[in-house]
Amino acid sequence: NAGVTQTPKFRVLKTGQSMTLLCAQDMNHEYMYWYRQDPGMGLRLIHYSVGEGTTAKGEVPDGYNVSRLKKQNFLLGLESAAPSQTSVYFCASSSHTGNTEAFFGQGTRLTVV
């Protein structure tokens, strides 16, 4: 069972470069999320989606864009990477919001130099 798969696992970017992180889930979940994890800051929500074709801003959306063209995929884009975006990014999915389990991917470690 693959669950939630993130690609790539590691990436180094130069300031100003762009990239897209891909998240794929095979559980037919409606809801998908992108979090970033920084030391001492916990998990902060970047963007989320409550269904195919819909997206919403989370706590720290600036500098990121997302798309959910297919139910199973949730893409996170960085148009012009900045050193402040150096972080570990986690994608998650759940069948609903509220009192249901969120399943996380293995994470993408991104370094912006």
Partner 1 sequence: QQQVKQSPQSLIVQKGGISIINCAYENTAFDYFPWYQQFPGKGPALLIAIRPDVSEKKEGRFTISFNKSAKQFSLHIMDSQPGDSATYFCAASVNSGNTPLVFGKGTRLSVIA
Binding residues for partner 1 (CB under 8 A) = 4, 31, 33, 35, 40-45, 48, 50, 56, 58, 90, 92, 97-99, 101-107
Shortest Cβ distance from residue 13 to partner 1 (Å)?
Answer: 21
Integer Cα distance of 34 and 23 in angstroms: 9
Secondary structure E strands in the chain: 4-7, 10-13, 19-25, 31-38, 42-51, 54-57, 65-67, 73-78, 87-94, 103-104, 108-112
CB of residue 44 to partner 1, shortest distance in Å: 8
Residue tagged 């994608």 (tokens): 91
> Residue 100 Cβ, how far from partner 1 at the closest point, in Å?
8
C-beta of 17 vs 109, nearer to partner 1: 109
Q: Kindly state the DSSP code that residue 45 receives in the 8-state scheme.
A: E
Residue among 40 and 62 whose Cβ is closer to partner 1: 40
Closest CA to 29 of 8, 45, 10, 48: 48
Please identify, using beta-carbon distances, which residue of 14 and 36 lies nearer to partner 1: 36
Kindly state the smallest distance separating residue 26's Cβ from partner 1, in Å: 15
